[in-house]
A and B are shown apart, each in its own frame.
Chain A
Amino acid sequence: MSHLNIEHLTFSYPNREVLQDVSLEFRPGELIVLLGANGSGKTSLLKCIAKQLKPAQGKVFLDSRDLHVLDRLTLAKHVALMPQFEQRDAPMLVQDVVALGRSPHVGWLVPLGASDWSIIENAMRITGTWELRDRNVQELSGGEWRRMILARSIAQDASVLLLDEPTAGLDLRYQYECLERVRTIVKDKNLIGVVTMHDLNQAALFSDRIALLAHHQVLGFGTASEILKESMIECAFGVKVSVLKHPTRDIPLIVPIAAKQ
């Protein structure tokens, strides 16, 4: 199975450095959580992997394949990106938006086949959007909309699933349900899942490994207990925390104390 290698990736906007010489290796069947303060480059890293942004230096390999030399359609077969924001101008039906996830596999001309529709239905059932299939996307709540985009990314059937804050705006139950489902899919299909989020305790609960970004670099990359330490969190987020032990699981439990003066 394929490994995702990010090698010496450097990216900056014209007047702001974002990522400097970032190297990471993700294994199949692994759910990675990217943590970091606002502007620490989580989204930029995802977008660099998905060729949405062009890194100044560095490469991204899926096994021995350089992802950035692939054409869009081939790349989309391997990498699915769920963006944080999307235009919602067209009053399309939920099922039609999810069905677009099959485009990398069937192209833009050929109609979808029965097997595509069963993949679409499955993706919608997993995300709890099957009941919404005939709804207009403009009528969806923020949370429903996110689940629909998640369904589309799952229907894309790629080996790398990049999710940019999939739980933002979801109620507590859907946050946990969403992350549980993502984790199940990653494990069942042996995918590489990379998820950005802000909740440290959720990150501890659902991640196999955490990559903590700060000051344009990877501050740490490892399991939750290796990364979520008081000093590291203080350095990355500028917040004093106490790290306790999770009552039922062998993971850390983070309790914020105060913003660092």
Chain B
Amino acid sequence: MIASRMRHPAYLLFFTIGLLLLSIVFGISMGAVRIPFATTFAWLFGIDNGLSDSQRAILFELRMPRVLTAIIVGSSLAAAGVGFQGLFRNVLAEPYIIGASSGAALGVAIVIVLNLNATLLGISAPAIAALLGSMGVVALVFLVGALGRGSSQLSLLLSGVAISALANAAVSLLLFLNNQKAMVIVSWLMGSISSATWSSTAISGAVGGLGVAILWSRSRALDAYMLGDTASTSLGLDLIRFRLWMIVGGSLATAAAVSSAGIVGFVGLVAPQIARMLVGPKHSYLIPMSVCCGGIVMLLADVLARSLHDNLELPVGVLTALLGGPFFFGLLITRRGSRALS
């Protein structure tokens, strides 16, 4: 009886997954070398209708990894966004604002400056540094926020802003003191997914996928957590363990995104917001829906970034910030009252 009512968001979710798959085809057929949509579609299903070797190489070696990486980045950021919005009980939280992205960036900058090239289980040093950086910052934000007046949402958000500013300052300092590596760090921070390869895609997919899986597995706990500390603990939620899982899951997802695309702002805010409008606040739907929306948004942003100008690629992070900033303003203005900030 009740179960039948749940079909509605499920249908929407399937529809969006379909849209995501379609946008993959769109994404790999777009580019300097235009390959017709239908041909690309057929190629994906193993029907090879007269593609040249170079076209096949472009599709498989260049565009597929790039498109998939874009989706992984967008999806991870979106899932991390939902996770942090839940953890901080504030719809304006997202990896970028909370400082997780800055923490990850700081980690990467340190590793580049120190010239560390070690790998662990095939994961490069910058990726690991990104993970540690974002985990450290989120944990710190939570601790500082909780040390103040209880853990009011506003103090958490503000401590996020403060720590994020600190991390950004540290990155700037590193840039300033290491002139010769500045370009490496800057181009990395600006974010670009043009250098994606199959192996980098696989690694960020695995890390991001793990983060998303952790967050999704906490869906019902997140629902309960939204009712407040007293209610959720009396429903059996262990707050410390839950928060730790959210920090780990959100940081894994953020690190996957930041280590493959640099700092990309606002996708973690925009995608969950769209998903919320579509399927409501129940996290078992909200998280997969945000993942799909994030993937689509990021993929379209990347397509836009590489097709706006013929021989110049815009950094994708600049593009998402350009589009996401106004969206954020709109959200601030239209949100009923100021509940989101109290």
Contacts and interface: CB of A to CB of B under 8 A. Distances in A.
Interface stretch (B23-31, B124-132, B202-210, B222-230): B222-230
A89 B234 contact: no
A52 B230 contact: yes
Nearest to B217: A109
Interface stretch (A75-83, A182-190, A199-207, A251-259): A75-83
B10 to A, nearest CB: 12
Interface string A68-110: 0001111111011101011101111101110011011000110
Interface string B1-45: 111010000000000000000000000000000000000000000
A89 B217 contact: no
A76 B339 CA distance: 30
B148 interface: no
A108 B234 contact: no
Contact of B227 (A79, A86, A95): A86
B77 to A, nearest CB: 21
B230 A77 contact: no
B231 A83 contact: yes
A117 interface: yes
Interface in B263-311: 280-282
B162 interface: no
Contact of A133 (B2, B218, B221, B234): B2
A85 B234 CA distance: 13
A91 B89 CA distance: 12
B68 to A, nearest CB: 28
Contacts of B235: 76, 100-101, 103-104, 152, 156
A108 B233 contact: no
A144 interface: no
Interface string B230-247: 110111111000000000
A72 B231 CA distance: 12
B89 A87 contact: yes
A93 B220 CA distance: 14
A53 to B, nearest CB: 10
Nearest to B245: A108
27 contacts: A74-B236, A80-B234, A83-B228, A83-B234, A86-B228, A86-B230, A86-B231, A87-B89, A89-B89, A89-B226, A89-B339, A90-B226, A90-B227, A91-B281, A92-B223, A92-B226, A92-B280, A93-B282, A95-B2, A100-B223, A103-B235, A108-B218, A108-B224, A120-B2, A121-B1, A152-B235, A156-B235
Interface of B: 1-3, 5, 89, 217-218, 220-221, 223-224, 226-228, 230-231, 233-238, 280-282, 339
Given A72-B233, A103-B224, 8 more contacts: A77-B236, A79-B234, A81-B230, A83-B228, A87-B89, A93-B282, A103-B221, A104-B235
Interface of A: 47, 50-52, 71-77, 79-81, 83, 85-87, 89-93, 95-97, 100-101, 103-104, 108-109, 117, 120-121, 133-134, 149, 152, 156
